[in-house]
Structure 1
Amino acid sequence: MNYDKLLMKIGGFGRFQKRMLALLMIPPFLDPMTSYMLTFILGDHKHRCQMPNTMGDPFNSTLNMAANISECFVYQNGSTTACNEWVYDQSQYKSTLISTFDMVCDNKFVRSHTMLCHYIGIFCGAFTYGMFSDTFQKESPRWLIAKRKLSRAEMILKDIAKENNANFDIDIQKIKVDETQERVAFCTAVGELFKFSISMTYFGITMKVGNLGGDVYVNYLISTSAEVIALFICLYVVERLGRKKIFSASMLICGIGCLCTIFSSLYGGPSLHWLTITLAMIGKLTITVAYFNIYLMVAENFPTNLRSFAIGICSSSGYAGSMVSAYVGDLGVLVDTKFGVALPLVIFGAFGICAGLLSFALPETKNMPLPQSIQEAENISRKQYKDGGSVLLGRQPVLTTALIGMMLPNLIRSFVSSLPLVGFLIFANGYFSMLVYDTGYILATELVDSSKRVFANFAYYFSFCIGEYVLVILAYFIRDWRILGWSTSIVVGIFLTSLLFQKESARWLIAKGKLSRAEMILKDIAKENNANFDIDIQKIKVDEKHEKVAFCTVVGELFKSKILTFRLAIFMFNWFSISMTYFGITMKVGNLGGDVYVNYLISTSAEVIALFICLYVVERLGRKKIFSSSMLICGTGCLCTIFSSLYGVPSLHWLTITLAMIGKLTITVAYFNIYLMVAENFPTNLRSFALGIGSSAGYAGSMVSAYVGDLVNICY
């Protein structure tokens, strides 16, 4: 008997799972309050040179207007010279890191470097999680079974059955674990590529939403709303259509939407600015759907022993994409034409379309149990599963430590005046925020049975969007970056106490051989779910050889498999693209023009829409179709901003924002799916590794997004 069948017997989604899932929604709710705050404290702060030999120089002084003073140069003594003092407009922001450290003119790329610190921290966190989580995590029954830690696994399963009011009369000795060490690397490579594409697009649209024009707050509000919409889409679609279909569709739509901003930007003019924003928000919505799916896909494509590593690697790739997105988002600054607004979205769109097309090579993991061995991961398309486990690093202590680590740098940063120290604290915040999100996600994924996996993913991501809504509200009323830092840190500190009620993962405990502890948890689960747990887990003998398998040996298993290696390469590229786009749009939402708060709100709403799309479509159409289409749509939407930026009149600025939000929505769908796809494409002993690698690729994409998003400053 595999673990999923055992979980269904004691309650796959009973009262226990619902209660734990509610608690697990708190960490992602807190995550954006500190990490995405950079959207506002590093926002485009309007400035001009201060007049020489003057005091109390107001920004909108009529005297200054008559003196022909620009942002970076001042006319003095018959010549034009670069200024070294500036006056900042306080109508939108009262105080930001830009105004505090004068990140303008020749120092304008210091902003990108500062944001890069955040993405590097996320990248390191993803890589660290993927490397060590499978070694220290102590709570998943699935992983414990894979590692033959049966006594502890039995205790956890009994707790699950007990809390879910289910009977547990299964002989755990009959639960078979396939430890075949065959080729496993295709999905990991694919996940890296996916995560990079998704992250680059997602963060490229989100973090540079102000570049779309219009009110940066409105743009951000729309962007956030697009995420919310994406989440609901995922909620009702992913389980119906499958991961692959939703992921592919979201990436394609995101790409197409971003590409379409070309027309609204080039030919639309100001009157069609709304179209550019709309296309960008479509990209945001669809990339959110992709984001939703990619975690599922990575988790479902890799075995237990490699799942954390795969998620970590793919996340790293994704945040590499997010790093790229910061600079891609600012490419518009380099091009002093209408095309400048659309240029970053065009790049996001191109990556989205490539990732969407590449996702067709992945298997569909809808309704498939998480693979436990490499052989099971390779046989996903033939449904030859025997199931498997979880991840490695103790999630509960890691989650607690990560939340504290996320809060403290954010709080300390508000009191320092040294830019290098600020950069280090931003790095630390990014590092721990990644640990918070990925650790909580693995817990949520392994908490429920396969039929509720998409819903758990939806609930987890949806709480993240709620956190974004809270952030934009706080940022709107608190325009000083230091006070905003204090406020968000206080919110995180208040919710830290919720971790006292969070239980360890029985699935992982079984895989680690911590059978006594696993049995206790499983009994609690069975009791709360009104189920019986009458299995003597102590009779299970633990094979210590499984526990002594070195990390390098596990990684070696992955790359012995050409199929899984190829999958991993595709996932890494997509994750990189997703992260670059997602963070590029999210963190640079102010670049879209208009009110940054409205832009962020729209961006978050696009994510919510994407989540609901994933919820109702992924299971119906499959992971692959949704993922591929979302990446392609995101890429197309971002690319289309070329036209709205170059040819659109100011009245068409909305079109650029719309295209960006389409990219945000679809990249969110891709984000939703890629986790699922990676998790479902790799066996138990490789699942964590695959997720770690893919996640790392994604965060590499987020690093790139920091500079991509600032390309607008070069084009300006």
Structure 2
Amino acid sequence: MGVFDTVLTTAGEFGPYQRRLYFVLCLLCVTVGVSAVVVIMVVAEPSHRCALPSYENDTYKIQDADHEGIVNLTIPTRLIRGVKVYDQCKIYTWPPENETRGMRSGDPRRESCKSWVYDKTHFESTAVSKLDMVCERSSLRSHVKMAFMLGKAIGVVVLSIFSDLFGRKKLIILSLALSVVSGFICAWVNETIPLCFALAFLGASNAGVYNSIFVIGMEVTGPSKRYYAGTVLDFFFALGECSVAGVGYLLRDRNLTITVLIIPNALLLPCLWLVPESPRWLLQNGRKKEALKTVQRLAKVNGKALEDKTVDMLEEEKEPKESILAVFKSWRVTWRFAFIFINWFAVSLMFYGLSLHSMDTLGNPYLNLFLFSLMEFPAYVLDMILLKFVGRRIVMCLAMCFGGFACISTIFPLLYGGQETATPVLALELVGKFGAAMAFTTLYTFTSELVPTTIRSRGIGASATFARIGGVVAPYIAHLEGYTDGPIGVALPMIFYGGLSIFAGLLNIFLPETKGKPMPETVEDLKTGLRSNPQERATNVEVQMSPLI
């Protein structure tokens, strides 16, 4: 156990001081959950059809019998499982010589249209309806989602460096302020390129806030309480996701919804004075007096007494350093890391793919988003229980395969379910999200215990990079359904998510079990099978970032 962990154990591992701090951190985590899925509200796609060129006040909703007659004459229809559906991208046109005094004759041409009307049942307006990101322009939706995920990927790297240089608290202030500015821009801008830049900055701020509050929370929490303290934040993250569905349902307008959701970020800025700088970071940067003051206050609030000579022993904990390139000196270790990276890519792809797809699923989009977010709560509870009694490798394999099979199984109700397919498809996708959420939180623990102490932070950082790549790719996988008609097209993204998830899950069979075993200290330990002292296991895990960033 390191010197600082020894002091924390004496001063109180999770006393009143940490609980007060966690109250603020959990509120901040709600805002992170909000901004993590707000992009879904921005690019939600309402039902639509081509606008009638000869009808001045055309609306998606049928106005009267005459309006219905013109729509039926002008808009092509097709039967989908026995239900007549208007084509969203095509319109009938007649040559001018075939139109006389409003009467049309001859065979019409089927052409792509240039303007649309949108169903306002669920959405008064979204960026899709404002910027016509449909039909031939539908790929813009994927680009906009990708911009958000790319911002998260860049933010994890760049802002983590900022955090190490200037402190955790400063990064929270910077990232939260950035989320307010970029969030308001996302709410009101109606140009594609500015919207992409705003979402990229919102994604970066999302990663920055979560990374900082997670690290601060872990660094002031005693070693035996860290896992549970970290998991608590995941619950509030899911609560933030659920709130987006509730506010969106009440307001139905992209501009107002995002504005209301971003306001709490601004209101929390003054509360950041309650958040101390991480004493570990202060020690690592030679600011021992400030670290000493923070630790003494922590002990005082927790009702503990620290001897001055004990506190004076606080100093930067030094660990042996190795290059992460050392893992490539052994094929056995290289393959182990390759399997870890594939799992991070696959679980992130499925988690964010299902989240981004939630409002495109059949049924009420707000209820769908709420249910997809709600599934994370039981996933985290079950994960906490299973990780305590069952091996990491088994839980990881089962969660990935369970979620993957559920995603692939959506093809069956789509092919054979007749007209009523919405409920079984939604149920299977929710099971997929359950598996993805459970696998995500398991994977972080598993990776922390597989990677040697000397390269743990860099190893987890590299893993998070592969996770972010999966998040960037996810919007384009979801867009695959636009390239194939029929049930196969609808199920294609789910088949891709599920197939890759099962493949990655089965790779865990070839990884060693870590439950109840000491953690490797060096890369050489991975080669020889030597491990650190089992008694040090609980205190060796230094949390660097959360899987949900």
- Normalised by the length of structure 2, the TM-score is 0.77
- AA matched with 2:408: L
In 2 relative to 1, CA 89–32 (structure 1 residues): closer, same or farther, beyond 3 Å? same
Say whether residues 1:581 and 2:350 are aligned partners.
Answer: yes
Deviation of 1:671 after TM superposition, in Å, equals: 1.5
Paired residues of 1:515 and 1:538 also in contact (CA < 8 A): no
In 2 relative to 1, CA 540–10 (structure 1 residues): closer, same or farther, beyond 3 Å? closer
Provide the residue aligned with 1:104 in structure 2. Answer: 134
Distance 2:397 2:363 in 1: 31
In 2 relative to 1, CA 30–68 (structure 1 residues): closer, same or farther, beyond 3 Å? same
In 2 relative to 1, CA 583–530 (structure 1 residues): closer, same or farther, beyond 3 Å? same
State which drifts further: 104-113 or 522-531.
522-531
Identity %: 25
Q: Which runs of 5+ in 1 are unaligned?
A: 138-393
- AA matched with 1:430: G
- What does the per-residue CA deviation read over 1:672-691, in whole Å, with 9 as the maximum and x for residues that have no partner? 12222333444555333222
Distance 2:220 2:429 in 1: 35
Paired residues of 1:578 and 1:670 also in contact (CA < 8 A): yes
- What does the per-residue CA deviation read over 1:568-627, in whole Å, with 9 as the maximum and x for residues that have no partner? 433322121111111111111023211111111111111111111123332222433322
Distance 2:474 2:463 in 1: 17
Distance 2:50 2:360 in 1: 21
Paired residues of 2:52 and 2:58 also in contact (CA < 8 A): yes
In 2 relative to 1, CA 72–116 (structure 1 residues): closer, same or farther, beyond 3 Å? same
The alignment covers a number of residue pairs equal to 455
Deviation of 1:74 after TM superposition, in Å, equals: 1.3
In 2 relative to 1, CA 112–543 (structure 1 residues): closer, same or farther, beyond 3 Å? closer
> Which of 525, 530, 533 is the equivalent residue of 2:298?
525
- What does the per-residue CA deviation read over 1:142-161, in whole Å, with 9 as the maximum and x for residues that have no partner? xxxxxxxxxxxxxxxxxxxx
Give secondary structure in 1 for the equivalent of 2:120: coil
- 1:271-350 matches, within 5 Å, as none
> Which of 52, 60, 63 is the equivalent residue of 2:69?
63
Say whether residues 1:614 and 2:383 are aligned partners.
Answer: yes
- AA matched with 2:91: V
Provide the residue aligned with 2:93 in structure 1. Answer: 76
- AA matched with 1:449: G
Distance 1:509 1:602 in 2: 42
Distance 1:405 1:570 in 2: 35
Give secondary structure in 2 for the equivalent of 1:48: strand
Give secondary structure in 1 for the equivalent of 2:110: strand
Say whether residues 1:24 and 2:25 are aligned partners.
Answer: yes
Give secondary structure in 1 for the equivalent of 2:289: helix
Deviation of 1:490 after TM superposition, in Å, equals: 0.9
In 2 relative to 1, CA 455–520 (structure 1 residues): closer, same or farther, beyond 3 Å? same
Paired residues of 1:119 and 1:699 also in contact (CA < 8 A): yes
Deviation of 1:565 after TM superposition, in Å, equals: 5.1
Distance 1:81 1:579 in 2: 39
In 2 relative to 1, CA 134–28 (structure 1 residues): closer, same or farther, beyond 3 Å? closer
Deviation of 1:92 after TM superposition, in Å, equals: 1.4
- AA matched with 1:629: L
- AA matched with 1:55: E
Structure number with the bigger relative contact order (C-alpha 8 A, sep ≥ 6) is 1
Paired residues of 1:127 and 1:693 also in contact (CA < 8 A): no
> Which of 439, 445, 455 is the equivalent residue of 2:212?
439
Give secondary structure in 1 for the equivalent of 2:17: helix
Paired residues of 2:34 and 2:244 also in contact (CA < 8 A): yes
> Which of 373, 392, 409 is the equivalent residue of 1:623?
392
Provide the residue aligned with 1:165 in structure 2. Answer: none
- AA matched with 1:426: L
In 2 relative to 1, CA 518–565 (structure 1 residues): closer, same or farther, beyond 3 Å? farther
Provide the residue aligned with 2:39 in structure 1. Answer: 38
Q: Which runs of 5+ in 2 are unaligned?
A: 63-67, 76-86, 95-107, 486-549
Deviation of 1:114 after TM superposition, in Å, equals: 0.9
In 2 relative to 1, CA 395–110 (structure 1 residues): closer, same or farther, beyond 3 Å? same
- What does the per-residue CA deviation read over 1:283-341, in whole Å, with 9 as the maximum and x for residues that have no partner? xxxxxxxxxxxxxxxxxxxxxxxxxxxxxxxxxxxxxxxxxxxxxxxxxxxxxxxxxxx
- 1:504-583 matches, within 5 Å, as 504-536=277-309, 555-556=324-325, 566-583=335-352
Provide the residue aligned with 2:360 in structure 1. Answer: 591
In 2 relative to 1, CA 674–103 (structure 1 residues): closer, same or farther, beyond 3 Å? same
- 1:374-385 matches, within 5 Å, as none
Distance 1:683 1:445 in 2: 19
Paired residues of 2:127 and 2:190 also in contact (CA < 8 A): no
Provide the residue aligned with 1:635 in structure 2. Answer: 404
Deviation of 1:525 after TM superposition, in Å, equals: 1.3
In 2 relative to 1, CA 714–434 (structure 1 residues): closer, same or farther, beyond 3 Å? same
- AA matched with 1:72: C
- What does the per-residue CA deviation read over 1:113-160, in whole Å, with 9 as the maximum and x for residues that have no partner? 111111111111122245x257426xxxxxxxxxxxxxxxxxxxxxxx
- What does the per-residue CA deviation read over 1:618-661, in whole Å, with 9 as the maximum and x for residues that have no partner? 22224333222211211111122122222222324322211111
- Normalised by the length of structure 1, the TM-score is 0.60
- AA matched with 2:358: V
Give secondary structure in 2 for the equivalent of 1:696: helix
- 1:404-553 matches, within 5 Å, as 404-536=177-309
> Which of 639, 642, 648 is the equivalent residue of 2:417?
648
- AA matched with 2:431: I
State which drifts further: 445-454 or 695-704.
445-454
- What does the per-residue CA deviation read over 1:381-435, in whole Å, with 9 as the maximum and x for residues that have no partner? xxxxxxxxxxxxx211111211111221110233323211111111111111111
Paired residues of 2:163 and 2:212 also in contact (CA < 8 A): no
Deviation of 1:5 after TM superposition, in Å, equals: 3.9
- What does the per-residue CA deviation read over 1:475-527, in whole Å, with 9 as the maximum and x for residues that have no partner? 11121111222112212111222221011222333344432222111111111
Distance 1:541 1:554 in 2: 27
Provide the residue aligned with 2:517 in structure 1. Answer: none
Deviation of 1:438 after TM superposition, in Å, equals: 2.1
Provide the residue aligned with 1:127 in structure 2. Answer: 157
Deviation of 1:562 after TM superposition, in Å, equals: 6.7
Give secondary structure in 2 for the equivalent of 1:675: helix
In 2 relative to 1, CA 594–80 (structure 1 residues): closer, same or farther, beyond 3 Å? same
In 2 relative to 1, CA 454–505 (structure 1 residues): closer, same or farther, beyond 3 Å? same
Give secondary structure in 2 for the equivalent of 1:112: helix
In 2 relative to 1, CA 492–134 (structure 1 residues): closer, same or farther, beyond 3 Å? closer
Distance 1:10 1:58 in 2: 66
Give secondary structure in 2 for the equivalent of 1:707: helix
Paired residues of 1:526 and 1:532 also in contact (CA < 8 A): yes
Paired residues of 1:10 and 1:526 also in contact (CA < 8 A): yes
Paired residues of 2:10 and 2:306 also in contact (CA < 8 A): no
Distance 1:427 1:134 in 2: 19
Give secondary structure in 1 for the equivalent of 2:91: strand
Give secondary structure in 2 for the equivalent of 1:60: coil
Distance 2:479 2:407 in 1: 16
Give secondary structure in 1 for the equivalent of 2:358: coil
Paired residues of 2:169 and 2:277 also in contact (CA < 8 A): yes
Paired residues of 2:33 and 2:236 also in contact (CA < 8 A): no
Give secondary structure in 2 for the equivalent of 1:56: coil
Deviation of 1:111 after TM superposition, in Å, equals: 0.6
Larger radius of gyration: 2
- AA matched with 1:469: C
Give secondary structure in 1 for the equivalent of 2:92: strand
Deviation of 1:705 after TM superposition, in Å, equals: 0.7
Distance 2:331 2:302 in 1: 42
